[in-house]
Amino acid sequence: MGEIFDKAVQFAFQAHKGQFRKDGTMYILHPLETAAIVSTMTKDEDILAAAVLHDTVEDTPVTAEDIRATFGDRIANLVAHETENKRPEQSAAKTWKIRKEESLAVLKDCSIESKMIWIADKLSNMRSLLRIYEDIGLDVFKAFNEKDPKEQRWYHATILEYTKELSDYAAYKEYRHIFKKIFDSHK
C-alpha cells in the first residue's frame, strides 16, 4: 500500500490504543478488517485510508477537523459519512433509533465510495455478531443498545437496500448471507 494508507493505519492505531470491542477483541482489528474488505472492491488509497479511519471520530477523541487537517477533504468527507452523532448527553439506548435514521439518511444518498466503506464496516460487524449468535442465538442483542431483534433487522435490511448497487461484490453477498442467517429464521 502507499504512504497515505500507512499514515492512516498508524493514526488509527494511536486513536484506538487500549480500546476493545464488545466481543473482547482489540478495537483496531475492526478498522483493519474493514479496510481489508474495502480492498476487495477498490484499490483507491483514499478510500482504504478512510476505511481504516472510519471509527476514529465516532469512537475516539479525534475530531473531524483532525482528520481533515491530517488527511485532506476527500478522506475527511468519507469518514464523515460513517460518523454518527452519538449524543453523549443522552443514553445510547434512548438515541439508537434516531442515530440510525440519521445515518441511513446519509447512506441513502452518499457516493459509491462511501457505500463501500459502509458495507465493509457492517460486514465486519456482522461477522462478529454471527460468531456470538451461533453460540447464544438472539440473546446476542442483549449486549446492544437496541435489544429488539426486529429493530436490528430493520436497520440491516435498510443498509442492504441502500447499498444494493454493490450487490455484485462478494462483501455485499456475504453481508446479505449473514443477515439472512441471523434474521430471516426469526421473523
- Give 98-134 as a DSSP string: HHHHHHHHHHHHS-HHHHHHHHHHHHHHHHHHHHHHH
User: Is 65 an active-site residue?
Assistant: no
Q: Which residue in the list 23, 58, 101, 165 is annotated as catalytic? A: 58
Compute the distance between CA of residue 115 and CA of residue 137 in angstroms, rounded to an integer: 29
Contacts of 47 (CB under 8 A, 6+ apart): 38, 78, 113, 116, 117
Q: Which residue in the list 33, 46, 59, 84 is annotated as catalytic? A: 59
> What three-state secondary structure class fits 57?
helix
User: What grid cell was written down for 116?
Assistant: 463501500
User: Is 59 an active-site residue?
Assistant: yes
> What three-state secondary structure class fits 176?
helix
* Long-range pairs, 65-69, Cβ under 8 A, ≥24: none
The one-character DSSP state at 169 is: S
Q: Which residues are catalytic?
A: 58-59
